[in-house]
């Protein structure tokens, strides 16, 4: 029987995926990957991949939380203040959140390692340029560019872990990611504060640029992975999503300074919503969307997204605003407030590993996440013991409770959410998860600040005084009276956050529950990666060999 020639087989592969065409005499076996990809895969290992990704998740949270410490010195050095100075932090966070989803989808299309590498290049270049910025406007632009690079590193890194590791090793990898991100978040302010005091803010930016260079070098040794199909880029979706989300988040951020009734705030949010509507309509019509809307019909995936929202909501306000209360109402020094903030952040250093260990030993992920979210809610309710002059012992219980709940949730959410989607959509899912997390953080910071100012204004009758008191500056009147008013407002907000958190925990528990028809099968499967609807092996899920593993790295992923 005549065999088809190799050239036609390769053409057939381009049309049909990874197999030779079904022709007489032509065996059905995968054609080896391109030589360049194969060499990259053989030079990598799961340990190297994990180390490089973890370095990224250490560097980025550290630089994000640590830059806030340098803001006063940056303002003094560059003669800046107000909104232009605040954009040093806001611009980075805004661009990082806006580009997460697009970066994840580009990873599926062009290669996750390639997106990670490009993100590291942009991040390192932005940080290095910021170290030599001559003025505040140049620094603001460079910080925004740095945020775009951070989006590539975070979205690409999460997708790389999801496609490199399977089973219990995936749970452990994401637990390590949550732990190392907690280290960066917790140590960022103190380490950056020490560096700024020792060598100045410009040298501190240079140190983070050097860390970005290490990410670039490390990425060279990782295996590439991408979806089997190579569709065209959805340009309409990219532009409308980035523009819409950026405008909405910018409007929300501005509302904390000007109020929700401000015409500029209303216009920004309205324009952003209009662009997001265009985005949804475009994604429904295109064959290769930036965001596959069918992901949003995956009940368990949506449950884990809601868990991320609940986690950030219960933790974000405390992390952002409690230090100001401790310094203003309780009279703590900046150093004392920083040490007290270790109580909610220190548990994030080791609790993700405990959460992963519990799941790998058979505890249902549903039980762990429900307990963690309820613990965060209880910690917020317990924190209403807050009072002027409260010491570390009085606040230890509620703050540690919030930190333990946050730590248990951190790595578990990523591992379980990524386990509910096809591996070909790993980058998209990682980008969406990080977008939801970052967007929620921005919303929580703006809403928490707006509520503080609004409720204080209703009690004090002065918007200017309310704004000062909300940030811990209790100098416009009787200190004891202002401290009591600020405390009462805090209690109202904490009770509201606790109530919302409890409701969200119950909703998450219902959403992530395995379907009844597969309950028996899921209990016997690996608890860390039990397949959700539409993600069973052979149905395009993480166990599907068609696209779950890095290109040319089947043996590597198998040993992981």
Answer for the pair 520, 402: CB distance below 8 angstroms, yes or no.
no
Mean pLDDT of 470-476: 72
Rg (CA), the chain: 24
- Residue 537's pLDDT band, with cuts at 50, 70 and 90, is very low
Distance CA 53, CA 223 (A): 12
Alpha helices in 383-418 (DSSP H): 392-418
Whole-angstrom CA distances from 337 to 23, 216, 349 are 72, 36, 19
Burial class (CB in 10 A: 0-12, 13-18, 19+), 189: buried
Closest CA to 452 of 436, 441, 465, 442: 465
For residue 2, the 8-state DSSP code is: P
On the question of pLDDT at 315 being above 80, the answer is yes
pTM score: 0.70
Answer for the pair 314, 409: CB distance below 8 angstroms, yes or no.
no
Strand partners, 30: 19
On the question of pLDDT at 302 being above 60, the answer is yes
On the question of pLDDT at 32 being above 50, the answer is no
On the question of pLDDT at 454 being above 90, the answer is no
Which of the residue ranges 12-21, 373-382, 403-412, 493-502 would you say has the lowest mean pLDDT? 12-21
- Residue 546's pLDDT band, with cuts at 50, 70 and 90, is very low
Closest CA to 103 of 90, 91, 113: 113
Which residue is listed with tokens 């040093």? 88
- Residue 547's pLDDT band, with cuts at 50, 70 and 90, is very low
Q: Give residue 543's pLDDT.
A: 35
Closest CA to 142 of 241, 242, 253, 134: 134
Closest CA to 327 of 470, 444, 189, 225: 470
Q: Give the DSSP letter string of 195-256.
A: HHHHH-HHHHHHHHHHHHHHHHHHHTTSPP---S--PPP-HHHHHHHHHHHHHHHHHHHHHH
Mean pLDDT of 75-101: 79
Q: Tens digit of pLDDT for each residue in 146-190?
A: 999 999 998 888 888 888 888 788 878 887 887 788 778 767 766
Closest CA to 318 of 341, 296, 288: 341
Closest CA to 122 of 99, 88, 90: 99
For residue 477, the 8-state DSSP code is: S
Answer for the pair 105, 233: CB distance below 8 angstroms, yes or no.
no
Q: Give residue 86's pLDDT.
A: 72
Distance CA 269, CA 524 (A): 48
Q: Give residue 517's pLDDT.
A: 62
Distance CA 244, CA 35 (A): 41
Q: Tens digit of pLDDT for each residue in 249-266?
A: 888 877 766 777 888 889
Q: Give residue 38's pLDDT.
A: 33
How many residues does this entry show for the chain? 560
Q: Tens digit of pLDDT for each residue in 204-242?
A: 899 999 999 999 999 888 888 766 665 677 788 888 888
Q: Give residue 16's pLDDT.
A: 39
Distance CA 431, CA 102 (A): 7
Distance CA 146, CA 160 (A): 21
Question: Token digits for 236?
Answer: 């309409």
Which residue is listed with tokens 């429900």? 370
On the question of pLDDT at 423 being above 80, the answer is no
Q: How many CA atoms lie within 13 A of 339 on its CB side?
A: 7
Q: Give residue 44's pLDDT.
A: 60
Distance CA 190, CA 204 (A): 13
In sequence order, the 6+-apart residues with CB closer than 8 A to the CB of 235 are: none
Distance CA 409, CA 175 (A): 9
Answer for the pair 343, 395: CB distance below 8 angstroms, yes or no.
yes
Answer for the pair 408, 176: CB distance below 8 angstroms, yes or no.
no
Distance CA 493, CA 480 (A): 20
Q: Give residue 5's pLDDT.
A: 46
Helix, strand or coil, per DSSP, at residue 349: helix
Q: How far is CA 53 from the centre of its chain?
A: 14
Q: Give the DSSP letter string of 80-114.
A: --HHHHHHHHHHHHHHHHHHHHHHHHHHHHH-HHH
Strand partners, 19: 30
Answer for the pair 120, 56: CB distance below 8 angstroms, yes or no.
yes
Alpha helices in 259-333 (DSSP H): 263-285, 299-328
Answer for the pair 242, 102: CB distance below 8 angstroms, yes or no.
yes
Please state, rounded to an integer, the average pLDDT across all residues of the chain.
Answer: 78
Which of the residue ranges 288-297, 358-367, 469-478, 512-521 would you say has the lowest mean pLDDT? 512-521
Q: Give residue 24's pLDDT.
A: 45
- Residue 111's pLDDT band, with cuts at 50, 70 and 90, is confident
Closest CA to 72 of 61, 85, 63: 85
On the question of pLDDT at 501 being above 90, the answer is yes
- Residue 43's pLDDT band, with cuts at 50, 70 and 90, is very low
């Amino acid at each position: 029987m005549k065999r088809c020639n190799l050239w036609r087989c390769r053409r057939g592969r381009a049309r049909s995926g990874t197999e030779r065409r079904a022709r007489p005499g032509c065996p059905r076996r995968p054609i080896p990957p391109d030589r360049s990809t194969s060499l990259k895969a053989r030079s990598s290992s799961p340990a190297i991949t994990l180390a490089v990704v973890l370095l990224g998740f250490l560097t980025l949270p550290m630089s994000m939380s640590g830059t806030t410490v340098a803001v006063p010195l940056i303002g003094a050095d560059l003669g800046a203040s107000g909104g232009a100075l605040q954009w040093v932090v806001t611009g980075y966070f805004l661009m990082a959140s806006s580009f997460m989803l697009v970066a994840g989808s580009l990873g599926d299309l062009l290669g996750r390692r390639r997106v990670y590498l490009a993100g590291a290049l942009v991040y390192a270049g932005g940080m290095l340029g910021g170290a030599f910025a001559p003025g505040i406007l140049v620094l603001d632009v460079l910080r925004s560019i740095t945020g775009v690079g951070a989006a590539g590193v975070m979205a690409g890194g999460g997708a790389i872990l999801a496609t490199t590791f399977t089973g219990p090793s995936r749970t452990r990898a994401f637990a390590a990611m949550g732990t190392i991100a907690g280290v960066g978040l917790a140590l960022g302010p103190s380490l950056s504060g020490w560096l700024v005091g020792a060598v100045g803010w410009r040298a501190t930016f240079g140190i983070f640029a050097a860390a970005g260079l290490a990410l670039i070098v490390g990425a060279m040794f990782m295996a590439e992975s991408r979806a089997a199909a190579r569709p065209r880029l959805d340009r309409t979706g990219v532009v409308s999503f980035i523009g819409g989300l950026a405008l909405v988040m910018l409007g929300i951020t501005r509302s904390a300074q000007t109020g929700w009734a401000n015409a500029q705030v209303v216009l920004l949010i309205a324009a952003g919503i209009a662009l997001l509507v265009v985005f949804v309509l475009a994604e429904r019509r295109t064959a290769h969307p930036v965001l596959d809307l069918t992901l949003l019909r995956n009940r368990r995936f949506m449950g884990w997204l809601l868990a991320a929202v609940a986690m950030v909501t219960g933790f974000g306000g405390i992390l952002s605003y409690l230090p100001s209360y401790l310094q203003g109402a309780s009279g703590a020094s900046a150093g004392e407030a920083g040490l007290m903030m270790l109580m909610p952040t220190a548990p994030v250093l080791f609790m993700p590993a405990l959460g992963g260990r519990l799941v790998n030993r058979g505890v249902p992920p549903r039980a762990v996440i429900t307990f963690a979210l309820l613990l965060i809610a209880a910690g917020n309710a317990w924190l209403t013991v807050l009072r002027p002059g409260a010491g570390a012992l009085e606040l230890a219980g509620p703050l540690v409770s919030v930190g333990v709940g946050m730590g248990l949730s951190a790595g578990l959410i990523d591992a379980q959410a990524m386990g509910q989607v096809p591996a070909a959509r790993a980058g998209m899912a990682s980008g969406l998860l990080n977008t939801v997390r970052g967007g929620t953080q921005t919303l929580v910071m703006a809403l928490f600040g707006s509520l503080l100012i609004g409720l204080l204004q209703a009690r004090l009758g002065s918007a200017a005084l309310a704004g000062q008191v909300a940030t811990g500056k209790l100098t416009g009147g009787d200190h004891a009276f202002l401290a009591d008013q600020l405390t009462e407002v805090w209690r109202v907000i904490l009770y509201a956050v606790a109530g919302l958190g409890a409701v969200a925990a119950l909703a998450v528990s219902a959403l992530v529950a395995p379907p009844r028809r597969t309950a028996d099968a899921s209990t016997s499967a690996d608890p860390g990666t039990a397949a959700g609807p539409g993600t069973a092996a052979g149905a395009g899920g993480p166990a599907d060999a068609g696209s779950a593993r890095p290109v040319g790295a089947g043996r590597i992923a198998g040993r992981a």
